[in-house]
Structure 1
């Protein structure tokens, strides 16, 4: 408190003169600055003097003003205050203080450089014991930890740290492997699935997992906006015994075990969720980490030492939620971080780099539930042909890598040069009857830059674009989705087939929301036909026919594929990127330096 009061007085009364120069002043002036009585001003001045911040000389006699001398340079003191605030975990407040008191100083950049050593992997003393702690800064909030409400990959990633699913998809082996269930079987039609639970799996609060938890976790998804689509065909769930669950489906679904690998189908403790209205503020699961603390600044987890899948090498993880406007200072942070929305960062000398092509793309979806010129297929095709994706990559660069012709990158993506037909595009737009009315592109986050590029690029051809920028939260508000002519965003496929279906099935999913109502029924029937196919090739052919129709009628404009870059200290081992595009925290460990020989 003394630091802030000193800085407030300094900003008001000493900015011109600086520290070390006596400044004539009255108690009345100080009272106005501090918004308190003169009596309280005297107490504050006494405290500031005792703490070595100021020297105070009271005026004697009528007409003699008092004098205050500021002893600490503002920049130095503010830097120290920001450090102390961050060390208490109040990172957001630290930047707010810098914004409030740091104008005209270099404190913000100094503070960011100090954070270089604060983030990353380090061994610290916790309860007098050495603990390996990983601190990771991110530039987005954790929106939810409830599996039934998952829309964004970061929230899903955090759910995976705390909870488990019945089964898990092993990407390297390309097969489903046991998780909470050690075995499972189905009938010959793919309509009945029976799962057998492991013995000795415990929730973080100490109770053993049972079939009741599985039945409750799946039943509670019915009707939910985000994850309800996974269980839309579930007819009933039977608890055969303490460790056996039978799930009966209304229609065949040979992909159902893959559904059950998704974070949205994580298993939760039934009695805690039912009894505690605030359960999701301090969740309890069976996962490799257990919840410790959740504030506006940070989310803290500790290793689950009894984890059935093997204890994490880390002892704790602190996810630091940084203000979005601090990203510009992140370029030299020592961090383990993958973020689909962060641009290229230069690694520190000697660091290792994981580079991969993001399994997804950026795209525009037309709101075909709203009236407007975009209802014209000619107009939509004309816009598609006008967009020069290769030029977009050259001019925006950084993490943009290939023009997109569909949702998924393939082996030919690197060699495809986007060449639009400008003359045909202009003629199609003319035929559509376009009269110059503004087309509203709604977007959020870093996608704003792509939307502004499209606005400038299309203006050359007489297409009037307005860009509406929302936040992670507001972009999903119903009136925002209804009023947008189109949305610009990015899709990432954690599990190809499942996420592909999610685009069309999930309530609140952008593509589903903007899907042409006339083909929604056809899409649903096509998905059901795909799920009924036991042959993987046939399943994919049916699913890809939906993408082909969207592309043929230009209901979606595919834009660009992006690359993911992860930089990490070479002494940190076990770094891998999971299906959600985030670092698998459980397997990370630090290679300790060898002990010197005696």
Structure 2
């Protein structure tokens, strides 16, 4: 069937170049043999099969070598749609998306083909007699990063890992309190240097092994020896004293007011003691286990042995297709009735303000005019936050003077003209050279980069745009996004200290030393003083124009209307453990006459 479709499309594209409906042409068997690169005998077999499918009408010519009449009954769009459906039935999502990406026909046909794939994706029910399997299918347009607890830092990988692994405690952003997870109870000494934890009994890893205090000890050792970028955060932990398989005490060198924040971070998710090598297998205690993993697909299956509430979803399939380049998050399901409903009518959009936003960062590791304060001031002036929000709109919600929206709301933002930016550029050492502005392939990032490029050109600054797939972008100027987790205070500290993010890879050693000096003792202070230190660090970045904040943003996702239990995390991703399909059942009174 698949091969027949390919051969039909080959003939259609070669013989019906204008894509006319019900197109009829004169052609010989020999010509078809050349087009299909096969023998005349095989051509006759192919024609017979295409006739059987009802795709063509064939009227053979009389006599050897005479032309025959070939009528195409299916448009290329219809045939591509059927082929895509055939591929999806065999779970070949990548091949189906590849067909859409290379299609050069009518845009409405392309949208229809894309819609066919979108119907396949989303939340599906696979019925098995009296039971059913609820399956969520998602597509990511970036490659999957490392799922390693001590190396992860990107939002989507953190989102996945929080469903695969668990920590001792968790932070509840609504109450701003910590709640039990793997540990059901903890106690702190009066001096604040000893924290004793009690594990729940009977918790199992996905491979069936029981969780014990030895796994906690080995996890900490791995953080200290393998987490070169984060281990300084855990420097106050002197050792762990084990009492038995379920009770242990962390001994600290000095009091640490953020100790529970440290333990709730994904970097301290507990992994098995026997898997503490450089490369761990993805074996956690979370509500989902990894059942399939390769470069293009990852499947998460509900862990029946989970110590908490088992997820209602049975499986989550994630396809990684970076070459397709999309960005919309869509979570839909097959309705079984009207498959051609549009996304707007069949879906509802959920928006959630994100903590953080977009920003520009100068690459101080490269030589160039970006080291000149007048140049950086010129960029600050042309990167006008209010003008950008009004002209671009999109997911932009408000000007950012801090990563925290409520702090930005307390500030006023003056408008700046391009003439002011031109004056600062003239005062700098800029000499007409072309600079690289790098950004990701996300649509909103590209729009913002193009907006900056146009305004730069208006003042005589030449910027070349460079979209990059790498998680850490390179260029003279970098457009990036930072979204903080619900435990924003901890995540902001992590942003300033993590050595594998944009900030640490683009600022020079002297600048980083300034930040590290300000941050060094932050975890010894109470919350008010910690917030003051973080405010000073943000102010330092902006006063020196090392980092230029843009706008706060909204996280947007589209969900099928039959989906219930939707709870978005701080990154705008849904909690997979609580999602489910609300069926429509016809309930009648006993006295109702049918």
- Scaled to the shorter chain, the TM-score interval is 0.7 to 0.9
Deviations 1:218-251 (A, max 9, x none): 3333344665554455554454432234444556
Q: 1:445 aligned to 441, 448, 471, which one? A: 441
Cross-structure match for 1:342:
none
Q: 2:395 aligned to 396, 399, 418, which one? A: 399
TM-score by length of 2: 0.85
Q: Is the 8 A contact 2:29 2:43 kept in 1?
A: no
Cross-structure match for 1:525:
517
In terms of mean alpha carbon deviation, does 188-197 or 428-437 score higher? 188-197
Q: Distance in 1 between matches of 2:36 and 2:193?
A: 71
Cross-structure match for 1:211:
213
Cross-structure match for 2:97:
95
Q: Distance in 1 between matches of 2:307 and 2:221?
A: 25
Q: Distance in 2 between matches of 1:189 and 1:125?
A: 58
Deviations 1:431-477 (A, max 9, x none): 33332222322211221221111111122222222222101xx243x
Cross-structure match for 1:486:
477
Q: Is the 8 A contact 1:190 1:532 kept in 2?
A: no
1:468-547 correspondence runs (5 A): 468-471=466-469, 474-476=470-472, 481=474, 484-494=475-485, 495-533=487-525, 535-547=526-538
Unaligned runs of 5+ in 1: 337-345
Cross-structure match for 1:197:
199
Residue 24 (structure 1) aligned with residue 27 (structure 2) = yes
Cross-structure match for 1:145:
147
Q: Is the 8 A contact 1:389 1:418 kept in 2?
A: no
Offset at 1:402?
A: 0.8
Secondary structure of the corresponding residue to residue 491 of structure 1: strand
1:257-276 correspondence runs (5 A): 257-271=260-274, 274=277
RMSD: 3.4
Deviations 1:367-409 (A, max 9, x none): 2233322212232223212322211111111211111112221
Deviations 1:161-201 (A, max 9, x none): 11111211111111111111222344556555443221111
Q: 1:372 aligned to 368, 371, 391, which one? A: 368
Q: Distance in 2 between matches of 1:354 and 1:76?
A: 33
**Cα distance change on mapping 1:188 and 1:435 into 2, 3 Å:** farther
Q: Distance in 2 between matches of 1:274 and 1:223?
A: 9
Secondary structure of the corresponding residue to residue 465 of structure 1: strand
Cross-structure match for 2:127:
125
Q: Distance in 2 between matches of 1:352 and 1:13?
A: 43
Cross-structure match for 1:585:
576
Secondary structure of the corresponding residue to residue 78 of structure 2: helix
**Cα distance change on mapping 1:318 and 1:366 into 2, 3 Å:** same
Deviations 1:262-299 (A, max 9, x none): 22322223435659x7x65xx33211122233355543
Cross-structure match for 1:339:
none
Secondary structure of the corresponding residue to residue 505 of structure 2: helix
Unaligned runs of 5+ in 2: 334-341
Q: Distance in 1 between matches of 2:489 and 2:422?
A: 37
**Cα distance change on mapping 1:273 and 1:55 into 2, 3 Å:** farther
Cross-structure match for 2:290:
291
Q: Is the 8 A contact 2:358 2:481 kept in 1?
A: yes
**Cα distance change on mapping 1:234 and 1:524 into 2, 3 Å:** farther
TM-score by length of 1: 0.85
**Cα distance change on mapping 1:351 and 1:58 into 2, 3 Å:** closer
Q: Distance in 1 between matches of 2:90 and 2:306?
A: 30
Secondary structure of the corresponding residue to residue 552 of structure 2: strand
Q: Distance in 2 between matches of 1:347 and 1:36?
A: 43
**Cα distance change on mapping 1:11 and 1:273 into 2, 3 Å:** farther
Q: Distance in 2 between matches of 1:106 and 1:422?
A: 40
Residue 253 (structure 1) aligned with residue 256 (structure 2) = yes
The alignment covers a number of residue pairs equal to 574
Q: Is the 8 A contact 2:299 2:316 kept in 1?
A: yes
Q: Distance in 2 between matches of 1:499 and 1:539?
A: 13
Offset at 1:82?
A: 0.8
Offset at 1:489?
A: 0.5
